[in-house]
């Protein structure tokens, strides 16, 4: 196949060349992004990504959805909820894919949260080291002992984790 300078091609996982303007199926996007097809459909339903439909009703995605999904994954990995991810993506003009400059601007506002999470994880690590290594076998001195279930008053979740590590994870 001879390529012209105006054509851009990419290799698919199977090795075949496709034009980079070709639309991607749900299966290809799931494979390339690492998200389950059901997650893609959910993300579309909540407005994080968009697709078009074939005349047969099958979803087709622009190739740029892969970068948008990478943004979603990165934001989720630092602890943002899907609502926060959606709010961040909504700041982009015309729902476009985030650029490096967009990521820098958006991620600046998340640095404080990351610093808190890092501090919480360090406290958790240090607490586990002393708990596991102490050998005291005394529930009276153990920092994570919960006699009479007093932690129930702190609400749902792991009450002994640092607060920054106890966010709700109900929006997979």
- Asked whether residue 86 falls in the same domain as residue 116, the answer is no
Distance (Å, whole) CA 79 – CA 90:
18
Domains held by the chain: number: 2
Residues above pLDDT 90, as percent of the chain? 30
User: 62 and 105 share a domain?
Assistant: yes
* 2 in any annotated domain: no
Of 64, 80, 109, the domain-final residue: 109
Determine, yes or no, domain membership for 50: yes
Would residue 34 be called left, alpha or beta, if left means φ above 0 and alpha means ψ between -120 and 50 degrees? left
Find the mean pLDDT for residues 66-78.
90
- List, for residues 44-60, the tens digit of each pLDDT value: 999 999 999 999 999 99
pLDDT at residue number 5? 44
In a domain, 172, yes or no: no
CA 19 to chain centre: 28
pLDDT value of position 147:
63
Residue 155 carries which DSSP code? -
| Alpha helix ranges (H) inside the chain | 26-33, 37-45, 65-77, 82-90, 100-108, 111-134
Output 126 or 58, whichever has higher pLDDT. 58
Co-location of 119 and 44 in the same domain:
no
Tell me the CATH number at 87. Answer: 1.10.1660.10
Top mean-pLDDT range of 2-6, 40-44, 125-129, 150-154: 40-44
pLDDT at 149 over 90: no
Q: What is the mean pLDDT of the chain?
A: 77
Instruction: Determine the Cα–Cα distance for residues 4 and 86; give it in Å rounded to an integer.
Output: 38
Whether residue 107 is predicted with pLDDT greater than 80 in this model: the reply is yes
Phi-psi region at 145: left, alpha or beta (left = phi > 0; alpha = psi -120 to 50): beta
116 in the same domain as 104: no
pTM of the model: 0.65
Give percent of the chain with pLDDT exceeding 70: 65
User: Domain range holding 125?
Assistant: 112-165
* Domain end residue (candidates: 109, 126, 156): 109
Average pLDDT of the residues in 70-77: 90
Tokens (6 digits) for 15: 């090795």
Query: Would you place residue 4 in the very low, low, confident or very high pLDDT band (cuts 50, 70, 90)?
Result: very low
């Amino acid at each position: 196949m001879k390529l012209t300078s105006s054509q851009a091609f990419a290799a698919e996982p199977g090795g075949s060349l496709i034009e980079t303007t070709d639309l991607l199926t749900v299966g290809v996007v799931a494979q390339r992004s690492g998200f389950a097809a059901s997650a893609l459909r959910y993300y579309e339903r909540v407005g994080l990504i968009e697709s078009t439909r074939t005349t047969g009703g099958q979803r087709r995605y622009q190739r740029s959805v892969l970068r948008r999904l990478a943004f979603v994954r990165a934001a989720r990995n630092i602890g943002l909820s899907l609502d926060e991810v959606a709010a961040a993506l909504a700041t982009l003009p015309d729902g476009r894919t985030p650029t490096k400059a967009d990521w820098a601007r958006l991620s600046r506002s998340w640095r404080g949260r990351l610093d808190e999470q890092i501090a919480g994880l360090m406290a958790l690590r240090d607490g586990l080291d002393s708990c596991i290594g102490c050998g005291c076998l005394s529930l009276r001195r153990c920092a994570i002992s919960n006699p009479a279930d007093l932690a129930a008053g702190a609400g749902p979740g792991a009450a002994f984790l640092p607060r920054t590590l106890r966010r709700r994870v109900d929006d997979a």
